Structure 1
Amino acid sequence: MFSMRKGNQYLTLYLASCLFFISNCQSTSSTSSKHHCLPDQSSALLLLKQEFEEGMSSEPVVYYPGNYPKMKSWKAKVDCCSWDGVTCNNKTGQVVGLNLGNSWLSGILNPNSSLFSLHHLQKLNLSMNGFIFSTIPSSFSQLVRLSHLDLSYSNFTGQIPSEISWLTKLISLDLSNFDLHLKGKDLEAISKNMTNMRELHLDHVNISSSVPQALVNLSSLTSLSLSDCSLFGEFPRNVFLLPKLQAIVLSRNVLLIGFLPEFPSRSSLRVLDLYSTNFSGKLPNSFGNLESLNVLNLHNASFSGELPNSIGHIEPLNFLDLDYNHFSGQIPSSIGNLSQLTSLSLSFNNFNGQPPSTLGNLAKLNFISLQSINLHGKIPSFLNNLTQLEFLYLSYNNFEGGFPTSLTNLTKLREIYISRCQLKGPIPSEISTLPQLYTFDLSDNSLSGAIPSLLFTMPSLEKLRLDQNQLTAPLKFKNISSSPLWVLSLGGNALGKMELKIFFDLKHLLYLDLSVFSTLDLIGYYYMSKNYHMPASYWVNAHWTQASSFFYSAHIVHGFLLQESKSLK
């Protein structure tokens, strides 16, 4: 779970940057012109400003980077070709581009809006605004010269009008929104009518349809993004072979099935994202032909078989996520050739044998997840070479021995998850030398000895999970008032009698698990609540071995202690 969440946060940022780079539909930009725009154009724009004047008066409905009210600078008697977001034809003075993305617009976009009188518009960007409760007007069909239309993430709702498919000159269309619907027949019409389409982005639009075969005829397509569209049926395999395709994102369509083709040499594909789909089969041996690929995300699909050795030939690969599939065999040593790789996730597969030592060659790696892949023996020593590593996930394996102190030389580590791995021995105090570590999880192992007191003075550590081990007393705290810890889980150990007042100085603590202690000082609860040493949201869990059929929880609210006992029988 942790790997999936963090890995996909990383992917979201990286994927957005890739699509931004691929896209040439920066719909419009403000450019100065020697020509004055025509009076009717200026009037139409001022009327448009008036329609949304109220929504610009305070602040944006949704905050995005770069937000500011572009229309605020529009003034009568000033050449509208010089206005922010407006582009004019240098010869005619007609408005041909309007970029009002991130412009604090809110309210209803009406079918009779003056926007639709700007018949020479070629590029229109209304993305990232607040047209809450507004449907997309069919009047967009009047803008027959449009080549670029971006209405993404502007809070439009309802059915996308079929008239959108009449805009046959479109080469870039982005209608990505969370509350829009598109009929399957309209997606087919878009695929058939917009034969010059280069970029088609419909993320989060509820299509609830199969994917039309007509997509394979879009020979100019460079970017296709249909994430979270409730698509089903088999995806047309030949779409992957479109000659100019650089990015294809089909993620979060759990009922969408399909198979990857044999890829031709010198494929231009840079992003292949099938996260949470039902694509299956083996990865083709021709994978190495994807020589421009930066992102490969097959997380939570249904692929199987051995990984082809050619996967290590994709030199530009930056992000590789194969988590939650059915891959088997050994991890190819050729992956160690991927010198640009920064994120590697191979978790929850059926690999056998140890990961190859060549993974230690991945000098740029900052994220690695090798959870639940049947690892055994000692924690791999190649990890010591990954000096840029920030996130380390090794949980649910069968390691021998203890936590290697050599990992503490990886000074950029921010998260360590090695739970349920049968680790033995003490927790090395050298962990406290990791200056950026904010999550440390060694729960569900067989660790023994005392918990190093230095862990509680680490400057960045916010989450510490050491529950379900064999750790013993004494538990000593010293100079912990500046600790940022807000999650502390120590249950399931043998720490002896606990006096809760020892936790008083952990001022940021929100969750404390002290379950399965032999003796627990309940008076401490009252003291902590009465003297306001814990915030209102503080939860304390406790469970006694001498009364093992009960679970005790205490929730302190405004200085009062509420107790609840629940039978676990």
Structure 2
Amino acid sequence: MKLKMGYAVMLLIVFLCHEVSSISILPHKHQTISLLKFKQSFTIDPSASYFLSWDTSRDCCSWNGVVCDGITGHVIELDLGGSGLVGTIDSNSSLFQLSHLQTLDLSRNNFSNSHISPEFGKFSSLKHLDLSGSYFSGQIPSEIFHLPNLEALYLENNDQLSGHFPKIKWNSSASLITLHLSGVNFSDNLPESIGYLTSVRYLYLSDCNLRGPIPESISNLTRIESLDLQINSLNGTIPSGVFSLPLLISIYLRDNQLQGQLEDFKSNSLNEILLDDNQLQGHLPHSIQNQVSLSWLDLSFNNFSGRVDVSLFSNLIQLRHLSLSYNNISLTNDNNITLPDSLVELELAACEVKELEFLRSAKLLRQLDLPNNKIQGRIPGWAWSNWNLSMTYLNLSHNMLTSVDLIPLQSLQIIDLRSNLLQGSLPIPPNSTTYFFISHNNLTGEIPSSICNLTSLVMLDLGRNNLRGEIPQCLGNITALEVLDMHHNNLSGNIPTTFRNGSSLSSLNFHGNKLEGKIPQSLTSCKQLEVLDLGDNHLNDTFPVWLGTLPQLKVLSLRFNKLHGPIRTSRIENMFPELRIIDLSYNAFSGNLPSSLFQHLKAMRTIDLSMEASRYDGDRYYQDSIAVVSKGYEREVVRILFLYTTIDLSNNKFEGHIPTIMGDLIALRVLNISHNGLEGPIPSSLGSLSLVESLDLSCNHLVGEIPAQFASLTSLEVFNLSYNHLEGCIPQGNQFQTFENNSYEGNDGLRGFPVSKSCGDDHVSGTKSAVSGQLDDEDSNSEFLSDFRKAALMGYGSGLCIGFSIVYFMISTGKPIWLARIIVELEHKIMMGRRKKQRRQRNCRRRNNH
């Protein structure tokens, strides 16, 4: 009996194993085909090794990224994140045949032009769906939000994805733990339905173009640990219940338009609070000091006010980052307390900090940002000692420091001491330094050649000091250097000639020194150069046409030097392709205006409507600036690359006519060719400069009328044609109603508003003077005048002696009263012409000096 029972059990086991084997084997073939079809619908980099295991000779459950259920054999996990898939997913994709999926990760691939199919909503067992960073576009199908078992949904970093945040309760809201939709364009208010997600722990909705107030229902998210609504357009106040959420660890509301005062922090679990870049106001809540778990607090760029004592943060023993910059607060230390020694990053810009004693215990500081404060005197010795091995970023700019002899911080990378009262010689930072800013001080002495030991230098700004001597030649050998700024010092000698191939230099500013010699041709090795300012020096050279080979050059200023000769350009076709500012004023350039140069200026021939000031914010640490004459005034312009398009060739010795091709430079905002020897008429093509704001053609020898096309220059704010030989009617309407007499003075032939002469009937009648009796009939003497002119011409052609003899003969036989009158008039015209010329020269010189 026992043998029969054992035999029966054995048969049952064999049967069950056969059935299980059948169950596990049968779906594999179908799933294998579906997976291979899915793979074959994409382009895959042949060098990618991700799919090497997808071999039909092997069980698909052993393939890379595939996980099957151990009992049923169904594929339940498919992880193809970052596998290099390129293509589209449509509703007919074989992917949707894998109906038992519980986890699907297709993140970090390239499904450009793919919409998220509603078929994703048929994965009824799906718990984890990750489609982030894969270039999906279009609307998010509502079916995804109603997956019944969904616990985690990741759709972030799909810039072209849009949709509407559900305004009803979701089917999956009871199970959803993580919702990451950052970057999706909702363009809508955050609805009250957000309060239905009571199981959510991690909610990320940053940069979603959300508007309106934060709904009060968000206080229902009692399980939430991380709330991220930063970089939106949310307004109103922060709901009072937010800071009472019992499990909340991180709250990110930065970069919105939130207002009102901060409520007390009633939750003691907070670890990160980022509320910067809003419009919050009032005093900081005292409950901050109870957040003993707090490691990151950023309240900068708000409207908080009042006195804030250091003691508010002294108990936060885990605090690593503290930022209160740019509010209306005043930091005090009434009890001589120090900040916790856990502090790693401290930002207190514009907080009226007066001393550094409260940092004596902060020996782990890596980043210290204290600009725009009231710190005086020297940096204390204990500071250099405490921060020697940790500090990488130090910003004490815009304070009142008087001396820094040494900077003994071995790990320092960025140091900013701009705009202090520093005296003495230039301190040399450690060799690890990459960014060194010490401009706008009173430093003296020479620049030591040891500065070239900083071989990792990226930016060096020594401008606006009193440094003298020569510029170390070795600076040209630092290939990592991108910005070299020594403007407005007393430096002399030659410009370094050691620039070499591989140079990263993008901005070179030696303006306002006493540099001599020629412009070094080695600058052609600096293929990344965008800004070159050598103005206000003593350079003696011809026009450096070879600079035109620099493909990125946008700004060229050579003003106030001793440059001379005609401007000739090369036959190379692509010269100065990106140039937007060229200033050659106050030199001795001669010859005709360089038509061939204007033909090359491609960046000035096209108006780029997308080119706005916001496109160029400069580097985080440095912004290019240049001195330009705009609208009659010299100004230092910052963020110049996209703001100004300027040609200034004034105060040279240019001759000839204004080239008509200048009218093709339609992106110009400032054009100044005044104080030259230009002649001929003003070309009507200049009326095409629709963006021009300042146009100065004064102090030349221009003739003819003002082109009527100028009336269409509606952007024109400053217009100067003074001291030429122009005549005719001044155009009327638009901007011409705003210009005053000084725009036209020195042009006696001009008529119309605002000059006194009428532009209507130009006939001027007058009463006969008492002298008319002596003149008798003027017509009767016309024959004599004609004969006199002939005699003068004969005298000019035959020589003065014969000419005067003829005139003497005519006097002895003619009417000497008429001759006397003519001679007096000629003498008067000659004298008036001389005086007018002298007056013109005097006025132009006065304008130059101004």
| TM value normalised by structure 2 | 0.54
Alignment match of 2:85 (pick from 99, 102, 105): 105
Alignment match of 1:183 (pick from 164, 188, 193): 164
- 1:473 equivalent in structure 2: 469
Of structures 1 and 2, the larger Rg is shown by 2
Asked if 1:438 is matched to 2:420, the reply is: no
Alignment match of 1:261 (pick from 238, 256, 263): 263
Alignment match of 2:228 (pick from 225, 229, 233): 225
- 2:522 equivalent in structure 1: 528
Measured in 1, the distance between the counterparts of 2:102 and 2:251 equals: 25
Asked if 1 retains the 8 angstrom alpha-carbon contact of 2:437 and 2:461, the reply is yes
State the secondary structure of the residue aligned to 2:219: helix
Q: Which letter maps to 1:415? A: I
Indicate how the Cα distance of structure 1 residues 168 and 489 shifts in structure 2: closer, same or farther if over 3 A, else same.
same
Residue by residue, what CA displacement relative to the aligned partner does 1:158-205 show, whole Å, maximum 9, x if unpaired? 333333332354443332223333435545476244432222223333
Q: Which letter maps to 2:403? A: G
Measured in 2, the distance between the counterparts of 1:293 and 1:183 equals: 35
Mapping for residues 551-566 of structure 1, pairs under 5 Å:
556-558=547-549, 564-565=583-584
Alignment match of 2:121 (pick from 117, 141, 145): 141
State the secondary structure of the residue aligned to 2:83: coil
- 2:44 equivalent in structure 1: 57
Mapping for residues 329-478 of structure 1, pairs under 5 Å:
329-330=331-332, 336-347=338-349, 349-355=350-356, 357-384=357-384, 385-387=386-388, 388-399=390-401, 401-405=402-406, 407-408=407-408, 410-429=409-428, 431=429, 434-477=430-473
Measured in 1, the distance between the counterparts of 2:201 and 2:370 equals: 37
State the secondary structure of the residue aligned to 2:346: strand
Measured in 2, the distance between the counterparts of 1:546 and 1:152 equals: 59
Asked if 2 retains the 8 angstrom alpha-carbon contact of 1:307 and 1:332, the reply is no
Q: Which letter maps to 1:394? A: L
Q: Which letter maps to 1:47? A: S
Asked if 2 retains the 8 angstrom alpha-carbon contact of 1:136 and 1:156, the reply is yes
Shift of 1:455: 0.5
Shift of 1:92: 3.6
Greater length-normalized contact order (CA 8 Å, ≥ 6 residues apart)? 1
Q: Which stretch of structure 1 is more off in the superposition, 358-367 or 271-280? A: 271-280
Asked if 2 retains the 8 angstrom alpha-carbon contact of 1:173 and 1:201, the reply is no
Measured in 1, the distance between the counterparts of 2:71 and 2:341 equals: 50
Indicate how the Cα distance of structure 1 residues 46 and 280 shifts in structure 2: closer, same or farther if over 3 A, else same.
farther
Asked if 1:240 is matched to 2:227, the reply is: no
Indicate how the Cα distance of structure 1 residues 168 and 553 shifts in structure 2: closer, same or farther if over 3 A, else same.
farther
Asked if 1:156 is matched to 2:141, the reply is: no
Asked if 2 retains the 8 angstrom alpha-carbon contact of 1:398 and 1:421, the reply is yes
Shift of 1:296: 2.2
Asked if 1:515 is matched to 2:517, the reply is: no
Q: Which letter maps to 1:110? A: D
Q: Which letter maps to 2:355? A: Q
Q: Which letter maps to 1:499? A: N
Asked if 1 retains the 8 angstrom alpha-carbon contact of 2:195 and 2:219, the reply is no
Indicate how the Cα distance of structure 1 residues 468 and 377 shifts in structure 2: closer, same or farther if over 3 A, else same.
same
Asked if 1 retains the 8 angstrom alpha-carbon contact of 2:44 and 2:86, the reply is no
Asked if 1:543 is matched to 2:535, the reply is: yes
Measured in 2, the distance between the counterparts of 1:37 and 1:248 equals: 47
Give the gaps of 5 or more residues in structure 2: 1-20, 168-189, 551-569, 577-581, 586-627, 634-850
Measured in 1, the distance between the counterparts of 2:218 and 2:422 equals: 52
Shift of 1:256: 3.4
- 2:484 equivalent in structure 1: 488
Alignment match of 2:494 (pick from 484, 499, 503): 499
Asked if 2 retains the 8 angstrom alpha-carbon contact of 1:536 and 1:556, the reply is no
State the secondary structure of the residue aligned to 1:231: strand
Asked if 1:204 is matched to 2:207, the reply is: yes
Aligned residues: 510
Asked if 1:323 is matched to 2:325, the reply is: yes
Asked if 1:274 is matched to 2:275, the reply is: yes
Q: Which letter maps to 1:345? A: E
Asked if 2 retains the 8 angstrom alpha-carbon contact of 1:259 and 1:281, the reply is yes
Asked if 1 retains the 8 angstrom alpha-carbon contact of 2:34 and 2:97, the reply is no
Measured in 2, the distance between the counterparts of 1:151 and 1:170 equals: 14
Asked if 2 retains the 8 angstrom alpha-carbon contact of 1:105 and 1:131, the reply is yes
- 1:307 equivalent in structure 2: 308
Q: Which letter maps to 1:183? A: H
Measured in 1, the distance between the counterparts of 2:545 and 2:371 equals: 34
- 1:250 equivalent in structure 2: 253
Shift of 1:424: 1.6
Residue by residue, what CA displacement relative to the aligned partner does 1:347-395 show, whole Å, maximum 9, x if unpaired? 1x3334323x241322222111111123233335443111210111111
Measured in 2, the distance between the counterparts of 1:120 and 1:278 equals: 49
Measured in 1, the distance between the counterparts of 2:193 and 2:32 equals: 29
Indicate how the Cα distance of structure 1 residues 50 and 565 shifts in structure 2: closer, same or farther if over 3 A, else same.
farther
Shift of 1:259: 4.6
State the secondary structure of the residue aligned to 1:351: coil
- 1:125 equivalent in structure 2: 105
Indicate how the Cα distance of structure 1 residues 174 and 202 shifts in structure 2: closer, same or farther if over 3 A, else same.
farther
Asked if 1 retains the 8 angstrom alpha-carbon contact of 2:354 and 2:373, the reply is no
Asked if 2 retains the 8 angstrom alpha-carbon contact of 1:204 and 1:228, the reply is yes
Indicate how the Cα distance of structure 1 residues 35 and 364 shifts in structure 2: closer, same or farther if over 3 A, else same.
farther
Q: Which stretch of structure 1 is more off in the superposition, 378-387 or 217-226? A: 378-387
Asked if 1 retains the 8 angstrom alpha-carbon contact of 2:24 and 2:71, the reply is no
Indicate how the Cα distance of structure 1 residues 183 and 333 shifts in structure 2: closer, same or farther if over 3 A, else same.
farther
Q: Which letter maps to 1:211? A: I
Q: Which letter maps to 1:324? A: Y
Asked if 1 retains the 8 angstrom alpha-carbon contact of 2:324 and 2:351, the reply is no
Give the gaps of 5 or more residues in structure 1: 1-33, 61-67
- 1:80 equivalent in structure 2: 60
Residue by residue, what CA displacement relative to the aligned partner does 1:38-91 show, whole Å, maximum 9, x if unpaired? 75477457535533546452289xxxxxxx664553333533333323334444
Asked if 2 retains the 8 angstrom alpha-carbon contact of 1:491 and 1:516, the reply is yes
Asked if 2 retains the 8 angstrom alpha-carbon contact of 1:457 and 1:480, the reply is no
**Identical-pair percentage:** 29
Please, what is the CA RMSD of the aligned residues? Answer: 3.5
Q: Which letter maps to 1:215? A: I
Shift of 1:37: 5.9
Measured in 2, the distance between the counterparts of 1:500 and 1:310 equals: 54
Asked if 2 retains the 8 angstrom alpha-carbon contact of 1:56 and 1:69, the reply is no
Measured in 2, the distance between the counterparts of 1:105 and 1:189 equals: 38
